[in-house]
Amino acid sequence: MTFTHRFNPTILREYDIRGIVGDTLNAEDAYAIGRVFGTIIARAKGKTVAVGYDGRESSPDLVKALVKGITESGTSVKTIGLGPTPMLYYAVHELKADGGIMVTGSHNPPNYNGFKMMLGKRPFYGEMIKGLGRMAADGEVDDGKGSVESHDIFKRYIARLLRDYDGTALNVAWDPGNGAAGDAVTELVRHLPGRHIVINGEIDGSFPNHHPDPTVEENLEQLKAVVREEGMDFGLAFDGDGDRIGAVDSQGRIIWGDQILLILARHLLKELPDSTIIADVKASQVLFEGVEKAGGKPVMWRTGHSLIKEKMAETEAPLAGEMSGHIFFKHRFYGHDDALYAGLRFMQAIGDAGGSLDAIYDALPHYVNTPELRFSCSNDRKWKVIEEVRDRLAEQGADVVAVDGVRVNTADGWWLLRASNTQDVLVARAESMCEEGLTRLKASLKTELEKSSVTPPDDL
């Protein structure tokens, strides 16, 4: 049978494949992804792919089509059912699969869905995703008849998470946001010392209580209220597929992704001094200075979970993280982003430091900064803007870190401008030790945007 398929180009993204179900993404796409990915696995001398899915209403139909495509390429499938994305990552290791595909829309609205992939134990992203699209359009696939095996690894996954936790009893509120991590969180806390409350634990792809993105403050309001009303030590929140974490202390103050990473790094560096700790270019200077002060080697790298994983493999870093709440542990773990595992290590770090996240937060340096500012810019234009700004700054002799866009260091602090890898937007951020400095940094950034004929966002 002749096979060719053309994807809507908007769904082939840098780190995954993602689109609107019934509009830019459908079951035929899922079948094509399976057919091509199964071929890629087979040509790499692999035999099996692990497949899991999240709690969205569209996921079961997409999984069915995906599995059909994989098996008709001649590659076999090990299904693991419903759960968080990190459980799929774990399954690739535990089941000795040659690759993995997770059907998930992550933290996107309910009408979205998508696919996160692993080739071997490494992320499948960037040029590899583009290549998958070309193979589908060219009909470059194998024919065969693979088998399907069902594996119930849920209990093994929970046991693996718990294996590295020997902390003191803490009182913690947990909010999986009705996402795919709900069942795992509910089971996990049954085995932990202390008092634990789970809210929004029922997996519901319509996300009836709030959007499952812990980097947005309004999505943490319910968790803050529970922590305060129930007198909990702190709260943990997760995104729609359980690979990103957020936290609040007992007063409801948000602990952002780079602050979580710093707390984890300090704890790890006591055991592994002089280790490399990686953070993305959006992270606070407090993080990089704090890692160095704690005896580590901070490395600033490009934003994107796949890019961070590759840098970890290159540098053999035991820990890495992103401002967005992706936390990656290679130390005692597999090097992928598992927010539940990160939550347990966070609890361990807090317990070992005396049990008060409030005290840890109070002792951190606190700079003033903007939130992540995102504003529209066409795909062609956004990269050219970065080049123009970078060239002008070079002529000025500015202190610039250019690993991902431009991060400009001044006496006032720093500002960042980068192009998103997944959307037609520019991303900006600025941080200073004082409000006056932040005002000057924002003015400098605004000037650079205007020089490139870009309208600055209203909140800059």
Residue 316 identity: E
Averaged pLDDT for residues 93-116: 96
Q: What is the pLDDT of residues 404-437, one digit of tens each?
A: 999 999 999 999 999 998 788 999 999 999 999 9
Longest dimension (CA), the chain: 67
pTM for this entry: 0.96
Residue 17: the pLDDT is: 96
The model's pLDDT over 5-20, given as tens digits with 9 standing for 90+, comes to 999 999 999 899 999 9
Which pLDDT belongs to residue 411? 96
Report the alpha-carbon distance of residue 287 to residue 26 in Å, rounded: 42
- Within 13 Å of residue 87, how many CA atoms lie on the same side as its CB? 31
For the chain, give the percent of residues with pLDDT over 90: 94
Q: By three-state DSSP, how is residue 56 classified?
A: coil
Please give the angle made by the CA atoms of 160, 162 and 167, to the nearest 5 degrees: 150
Task: Please report the pLDDT score of residue 458 as a whole number.
Answer: 85
Q: Phi and psi of 247, rounded to 5°?
A: -150, 150
Give the DSSP per-residue string, 322-391: -TTS-EEE-TTS-SSB-HHHHHHHHHHHHHHTTS-HHHHHHHS---EE---EEEE--HHHHHHHHHHHHH
Active-site residue, from 73, 106, 275, 432: 106
CA distance 13 to 40: 18
**Does the annotation count 106 as an active-site position?**
yes
- Is residue 56 within 8 A of residue 182, CB to CB? The reply is no
Is the pLDDT score of 141 beyond 60?
Answer: yes
Residue 1: is its pLDDT beyond 80? Answer: no
pLDDT single digits (tens) 363-401: 999 999 998 899 999 988 999 999 999 999 999 999 999
Q: With 90 as the cut, is the pLDDT of residue 128 above it? A: yes
DSSP sequence for 180-210: TTHHHHHHHHTTSSS-EEE-S-S--TT-SSS
